[in-house]
């Protein structure tokens, strides 16, 4: 389908996935942004020039144990030729429109106060992507809208005081951490902001202990180690380039999110999906939700929904490790001109 715009395929697949999951159709809410972001033909190699899913079309779906029946997606807006500032403004505009439409003026006011530093014309000169947009949809409509803003040097000062303090604590405990972006999410009942760090060098999971203790979630270290160890096949040292840490200030304390970028792991386990299933076996409801989600996201002419690109574990003071899976959906990238399978 060389002349089909990728946005048309994305629209159709999202609509179908939303029907299968029984959620609101995201196309009704973000259809125009999909058109602006994926106006090149399906499989165009230029899509690979992005920071969300380098080498692939920048559209990612995710399953979260905490939002098991939702259709979640993240995307890099405006296509590969846009400037970071254009993306920052596009993501901000769309976020404000959706928040205002779905959650009302008080939520918009909250978002505006949190995002003021990124909604003007300022962006640091070395910005790489500017911003991403994310959304979660359930049967009631938009469940959560999220924007990820790239952080420049010294831009920690633009974070709320609590998050700023937690960030400095984290960087003191793990000197390899570098803040790279922040996400601001608005839901129906509350909003939340998270700051993400890239970890330079290998990370021993046990090295997280001082940080977890300082953040008041030290008791969840065993849970985090157990979940990570099982899913990654007994690996407790994560190589450089595979770790992103996120911190979020919630009403019940600080939440830590450990994202493992599978592209940065040299030899990820072959039976990754089985291991994920094994981890979720102790929570059958989540296990069933994942199976439903996988089925819903699988196109009829494909065997599976795509490749898992990121495994994410989050812990809070009152909650053990919970899993999220980020998926690079199948069918958007150019197919090889001939089969290379050995007969």
Q: Return the C-alpha torsion angle 31, 64, 76, 111, nearest 10.
A: 80
Q: Is 223 in the site for other proteins (CB under 8 A)?
A: no
SS percent in the chain: helix, strand, coil, step 5: 40, 25, 35
Q: How far is the CB of 176 from other proteins (least distance, A)?
A: 24
Least gap, CB of 59 to other proteins (angstroms): 15
H/E stretch holding 323 reads strand 319-329
Q: Stretches 7-15, 186-194, 243-251, 253-261: which one binds other proteins (CB under 8 A)?
A: 7-15
Interacting positions 63-82 with other proteins (CB under 8 A): 81-82
Among 6, 62, 71, 92, binds other proteins (CB under 8 A): 92
**Which one of residues 56, 72, 119, 194 is an interface residue with other proteins (CB under 8 A)?**
119
By C-beta, is 239 or 299 nearer to other proteins?
299
Closest-CA residue to 232 (of 211, 199, 258): 258
- Ranges assigned E (strand) in the chain: 59-64, 71-75, 131-138, 141-150, 177-187, 191-199, 203-204, 237-238, 243-250, 253-261, 306-316, 319-329
- Please pick, from the candidates 11, 146, 194, 328, the single residue that binds other proteins as defined by CB under 8 A: 11
Told to check if 41 binds other proteins by CB under 8 A, we report: no
To other proteins, the closest distance from the beta carbon of 170 in angstroms equals 22
Closest distance between other proteins and the C-beta of residue 43, in Å? 18
Whether the CB-CB separation of 81 and 104 falls below 8 Å is answered with: no
Q: Under the criterion CB under 8 A, does residue 157 sit at the interface with other proteins?
A: yes
Under the binding rule (CB under 8 A), the answer on residue 341 touching other proteins is no
**Alpha carbon 109 to its chain's center:** 24
**Does 252 contact other proteins by CB under 8 A?**
no
Using the rule CB under 8 A, give the single segment among 113-121, 162-170, 236-244, 256-264 that binds other proteins. 113-121
Pick from 254, 261, 51: nearest CA to 167: 254
Smaller CB distance to other proteins: residue 96 or 316? 96
d(CA 120, CA 133): 17
Q: Which of 5, 39, 169, 273 binds other proteins (CB under 8 A)?
A: 39
Least spacing, CB of residue 286 vs other proteins, in Å: 21
From candidates 5, 93, 235, 273, binder to other proteins by CB under 8 A: 93
Q: Work out whether strand 71-75 and strand 306-316 pair parallel, antiparallel, or are unpaired.
A: unpaired
CB 279 within 8 A of CB 323: yes
CB-CB contact of 235 with 229 (8 Å)? yes
The DSSP 8-state label assigned to residue 143 in this structure reads: E
Q: Is 162 in the site for other proteins (CB under 8 A)?
A: no
- Closest separation between CB of residue 158 and other proteins, Å? 9
Nearest to 230 by CA among 288, 287, 269, 286: 269
Q: Residue 24 carries which DSSP code?
A: -
Phi and psi torsions of 237, nearest 5°: -125, 120
Among 1, 54, 55, 101, binds other proteins (CB under 8 A): 101
To the nearest whole angstrom, how small is the minimum distance from the Cβ of residue 127 to other proteins? 8
Q: Is 300 near other proteins (CB under 8 A)?
A: yes
Contacting residues for 107 by C-beta, under 8 A, at least 6 apart: 99, 100, 186, 191
C-alpha 71 chain-centroid distance: 12
Interface with other proteins includes 28 (CB under 8 A)? Answer: yes
Q: Among 241, 238, 215, 214, which residue's Cα sits nearest to residue 225?
A: 238
Would you say 11 or 257 has its CB closer to other proteins? 11
Question: Where do contacts with other proteins occur on this chain (CB under 8 A)?
Answer: 8, 11-12, 14-16, 19-20, 25, 27-28, 31, 36, 39, 81-83, 85-86, 89-93, 95-97, 99-101, 108, 115, 119-127, 157, 295, 299-300
């Amino acid at each position: 389908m060389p002349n089909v715009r990728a946005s048309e395929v994305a629209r159709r697949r999202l609509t179908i996935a939303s029907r299968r999951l029984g959620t609101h159709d995201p196309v009704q809410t973000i259809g125009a942004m999909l058109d602006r972001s994926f106006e090149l033909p399906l499989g165009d190699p230029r899509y690979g020039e992005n920071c969300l899913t380098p080498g692939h079309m920048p559209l990612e779906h995710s399953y979260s144990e905490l939002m098991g029946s939702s259709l979640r997606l993240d995307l890099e807006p405006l296509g590969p030729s846009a400037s970071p500032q254009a993306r920052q403004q596009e993501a901000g505009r769309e976020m404000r429109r959706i928040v205002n439409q779905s959650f009302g003026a008080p939520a918009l006011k909250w978002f505006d106060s949190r995002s003021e530093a990124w909604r003007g014309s300022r962006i640091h000169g070395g910005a790489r992507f500017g911003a991403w947009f994310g959304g979660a949809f359930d049967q009631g409509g938009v469940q959560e809208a999220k924007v990820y803003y790239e952080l420049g040097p010294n831009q920690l000062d633009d974070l709320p005081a609590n998050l700023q303090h937690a960030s400095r604590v984290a960087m003191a405990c793990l000197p390899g951490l570098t803040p790279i972006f922040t996400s601001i999410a608005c839901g129906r009942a509350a909003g939340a902001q998270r700051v993400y760090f890239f970890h330079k060098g290998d990370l021993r999971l046990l090295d997280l202990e001082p940080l977890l203790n300082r953040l008041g979630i030290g008791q969840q270290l065993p849970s985090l180690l157990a979940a990570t160890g099982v899913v990654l096949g007994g690996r407790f040292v994560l190589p450089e380039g595979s770790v992103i840490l996120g911190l979020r200030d919630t009403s019940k304390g600080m939440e830590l999110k450990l994202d493992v970028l599978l592209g940065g792991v040299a030899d990820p386990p072959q039976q990754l999906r089985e291991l994920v299933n094994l981890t979720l076996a102790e929570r059958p409801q989540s296990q069933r939700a994942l199976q439903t989600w996988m089925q819903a996201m699988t196109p009829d002419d494909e065997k599976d929904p795509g490749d898992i690109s990121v495994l994410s574990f989050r812990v809070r003071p009152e909650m053990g490790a919970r899993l999220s899976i980020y998926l690079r959906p199948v069918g958007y990238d150019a197919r090889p001109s001939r089969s290379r399978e050995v007969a």
